[in-house]
Amino acid sequence: MTDTPEAFDAVEVIATKRDGGRLSDPQIDWVVDAYTRGVVADEQMSALAMAILLNGMERPEIARWTAAMIASGERMDFSSLSRPTADKHSTGGVGDKITLPLAPLVAACGVAVPQLSGRGLGHTGGTLDKLEAIPGWRAELSNAEILAQLEDVGAVICAAGKGLAPADKKLYALRDVTGTVEAIPLIASSIMSKKIAEGTGTLVLDVKVGSGAFMKDLEQATELAETMVALGTDAGVRTVALLTDMSVPLGLTAGNAVEVAESVEVLAGGGPRDVVELTIALAREMVAAAGRDDVDPADALADGRAMDFWRRMISAQGGDPDAPLPTPRETQVVTAPTTGVLTGLDALGVGVAAWRLGAGRSRPGEQVQAAAGVVLHATVGDRVVEGQPLLTLQTDTPERFARAEQALEGAITVGPDGQEPSARQVVLQRIDR
């Protein structure tokens, strides 16, 4: 069929992992490359992915798999910049707008932030989708534009180029439709291949734990975090992970424009406590890992420097930081069912509601609504009175309200007075090597 014979047979590679064996380095190099070239077919890779999910991979296998995915494409190089670089990756959560205030805050501390992001799929939303709610802002930059903006402004949030880890892009889309997303070796190598290829000097991982996150329990999240920290460190990237709570939404908004507005509040010195706390915690890790432990991000947030960097970052990509954000055509209020203490506000329920209102997409390429989302008027621990507004649903297409409300069934719990839950801890654990 081809001029040069293939080094391996796909079925033999699949059978090795199926039978509980360890893939050799040449097997991994070949199968990732051959999949990228289309010689290993989708149906073969999905069978291999399922075997990896069920039989696992050892650390050296994961490291080699990651390296093979990096080798499938180009690598960026920020070593010519006058500043150190630091990047953050979140495994995805509901209301997770942290990147928006974080990137300008870290830039304000003298550390360049090349934040190459993806689009949202499913209930967790995407950073680019959120920023596109800002009139004029564009996500697509060339590599030269990224470098220039990092030098001039110090922060870029933009779409990851198609040239980085193309094997991962192909595999990620495949896993999404074949029930093979939930494999820690594949999650870790997917994230880390992109981040290492992107060329950042340091990386802080925000690994979410809880109902609204991908990892529902601390044990799994710890394994994922440890795997990624090891992968990054071994590849020469200073890598630290924070395990953070995702049992309730972050802040009081989940959606696109609503999350931009909340981020701007934080940059203006206000905003919900948990968003502020997590933004500063991650910023401190990034700044310290980049060697700037002389600067405290809390100061740069308090004195308005972070807001200055935000405005420059948005303007540099065509956005108008002063333009009014889109507002929804329709809103609907959900009220408290009884009087008492708000004891639960399930992150997954809120995330799915925002998604169904139009904030997220079900298929790659689908349009999202800038104004769609959920705004919370109370948070866990607050005293509420029967009939008071608890949250507002926003959408341009009111036929979506019914299914959004369904997603919220059982998500809101109100307990009797005196049953206040203990104060929420945002950062649960820190993992480095």
Residues forming contacts to a second copy in the complex (CB under 8 A) are 10-12, 14-15, 18, 41-51, 53-55, 174, 177-180, 182
Q: Nearer to a second copy by C-beta: 82 or 362?
A: 362
Q: Which two tokens stand for residue 310?
A: 């935000």
End-to-end CA distance of the chain: 47
User: Closest approach of Cβ 367 to a second copy, in Å?
Assistant: 16
Length of the chain: 433
CB of 183 to a second copy, least distance (A): 10
CA distance 113 to 111: 6
Task: For the CB of residue 226, give the shortest distance to a second copy in the complex, in Å.
Answer: 23
Among residues 117, 190, 247, 263, the one annotated as catalytic is 190
Comparing CB distances to a second copy, the nearer of 20 and 337 is 20
CB of 42 to a second copy, least distance (A): 4
Q: Is 377 a residue of the active site?
A: no
Encode the chain in three state secondary structure: CCCCCCCCCHHHHHHHHHCCCCCCHHHHHHHHHHHHHCCCCHHHHHHHHHHHHHHCCCHHHHHHHHHHHHHCCECCCCCCCCCCEEEEEECCCCCCCCHHHHHHHHHHCCCEEEEEECCCCCCCCCHHHHHCCCCCCCCCCCHHHHHHHHHHCCEEEEECCCCECHHHHHHHHHHHHHCCCCCHHHHHHHHHHHHHHCCCCEEEEEEEECCCCCECCHHHHHHHHHHHHHHHHHCCCEEEEEEEECCCCCCCEEECHHHHHHHHHHHCCCCCHHHHHHHHHHHHHHHHHCCCCCCCHHHHHHCCHHHHHHHHHHHHCCCCCCCCCCCCCEEEEEECCCCEEEEEECHHHHHHHHHHHHHCCCCCCCCCCCCCEEEECCCCCCEECCCCEEEEEEECCHHHHHHHHHHHCCCEEEECCCCCCCCCCCEEEEECC
User: 33, 87, 168, 274: which is the annotated catalytic residue?
Assistant: 168
Q: Identify the active-site residue in 123, 194, 195, 356.
A: 194
Which is the catalytic residue, given 17, 64, 88, 89?
Answer: 89
Task: Please say which residue, 219 or 293, places its beta carbon nearer to a second copy.
Answer: 219
CB of 414 to a second copy, least distance (A): 31
Q: How far apart are CA 284 and CA 293, in angstroms?
A: 8
Active site residue 162: no
Nearest of 115, 139, 116 to residue 129 by alpha carbon: 139
- Closer CB to a second copy, residue 224 or residue 235? 224
Would you tell me how many other CB atoms lie within 10 Å of the CB of residue 278? 25
Known active-site residue 89: yes
Whose Cβ is closer to a second copy: residue 51's or residue 371's? Answer: 51
> What is the spatial distance between Cα 288 and Cα 292, in angstroms, rounded to a whole number?
5
* Minimum gap (Å) between residue 358 Cβ and a second copy: 19
Q: Which is nearer to a second copy, 119 or 170 (CB)?
A: 170
Q: Answer yes or no: 194 catalytic.
A: yes
Which is nearer to a second copy, 6 or 277 (by Cβ)?
Answer: 6
Per annotation, catalytic residue among 175, 305, 356, 400? 175
Phi, psi of 74 (to 5 degrees): -85, 165
Q: Taking the complex as a whole, how short is the minimal distance between the CB of residue 410 and a second copy, in angstroms?
A: 19
Q: How far is the CB of 18 from a second copy (least distance, A)?
A: 5
**Which of 21, 416 has the CB closer to a second copy?**
21
Active-site residues, by number, are: 89, 168, 175, 190, 194
